[in-house]
Structure 1
């Protein structure tokens, strides 16, 4: 697949909604251990809005699909909702009025990380969603440079995001809610980073 079709983008979004629901208890428990326990509730609310936005449509292009996801998260409370909303918005912007190739997705992911880092003041190693977002963007860009198609590049991004999310388990949080509980959050995977990995998983399953 050389370009992301509307059908694939919509299936990707639908699978992300489904996996978010399936993993809700897991993500809530991780946040209960390392944060204030509201992550699962906020994610559930965002995903309900994603589904509603997609149904309201028209989700007739990858741009429209990503925009529907972005607006759903931007209208969700908590710390992570708006950050995810801004992250997804960069994918929507990149997909507007042009074919969505692996290169375009890599550029979108790179720009999206920069936006989240600027707003959240987080770096790789701070035990946040950035620990999955940044390596995923790098993997997407590298795969595109090697000539990988969309599916191959997204699979590489998913793999990198999972490695990045797993790395947060041993970290001491420097940003986000987990930073308030100090050592109590060590040994817990950041739920935001894991959500990023699940998002990229949803692209390739």
Structure 2
């Protein structure tokens, strides 16, 4: 699979939404321990809204799918909504009906750098950036090696999972979790977990395209 086209992109978001539905209680519990407990519900609200918009206004190319997701997050409450809205909005800048791994990696890199700047967060701060950055780096490295999209997305999936898990032992330095200090240690950051879930839903998970 050398390019990301419309239907696999739509399926990616459908799988992500289903994953969120299945994990909403766990995400809420994680956020209850490190924040105000609304992350799971806000994430579910956003993905439901995204799917509704995709159905109501069918996209014609991959970038438009990500635009629907971006708009949904920008319209959702909580501190993570604007950051995820920005992230998906930058990914939505990909052009054309068939997106190469190079173009997708570049868009996700731009998206991740935008979130880092806006949130003033970096790896080690116990935020969604801890999953975004390694996933982005893995995707860029995969794009440099080959024009095959699937291995690059698989590497990004694994890196995002490892990045999310790495937040378990961190003390938060940004976001709401930074207010609870050592009480956040031992808890995976819910934003990082959501990013890992997004990449786990990509067209490599379970061999799906």
Runs (5+) with no aligned partner, structure 2 = none
Between the aligned partners of 1:57 and 1:137, the Cα distance in structure 2 is: 29
Partner of 1:187: 186
Between the aligned partners of 1:138 and 1:30, the Cα distance in structure 2 is: 26
Between the aligned partners of 1:98 and 1:46, the Cα distance in structure 2 is: 25
Between the aligned partners of 1:11 and 1:124, the Cα distance in structure 2 is: 29
SS at match of 2:36: coil
* Structure 2 counterparts to residues 165-180 of structure 1, below 5 A: 165-180=164-179
CA root-mean-square deviation:
1.0
Partner of 1:12: 12
Runs (5+) with no aligned partner, structure 1 = none
SS at match of 1:23: helix
Between the aligned partners of 2:77 and 2:194, the Cα distance in structure 1 is: 16
SS at match of 2:71: helix
Shift of 1:98: 6.1
Shift of 1:48: 1.3
Q: How many aligned residue pairs are there?
A: 204
Partner of 1:146: 145
Partner of 1:114: 113
Partner of 2:65: 65
Between the aligned partners of 2:62 and 2:9, the Cα distance in structure 1 is: 5
TM-score w.r.t. structure 2 length? 0.95
Between the aligned partners of 1:18 and 1:26, the Cα distance in structure 2 is: 14
1:74 maps onto 2:35 in alignment = no
Shift of 1:99: 3.3
Between the aligned partners of 2:144 and 2:44, the Cα distance in structure 1 is: 35
SS at match of 1:97: coil
Between the aligned partners of 1:103 and 1:174, the Cα distance in structure 2 is: 32
Partner of 1:92: 92
Between the aligned partners of 1:71 and 1:152, the Cα distance in structure 2 is: 29
Between the aligned partners of 2:180 and 2:105, the Cα distance in structure 1 is: 34
Shift of 1:197: 0.6
Runs of 4+ more than 4 Å apart: none
Partner of 1:198: 197
Between the aligned partners of 2:166 and 2:147, the Cα distance in structure 1 is: 26
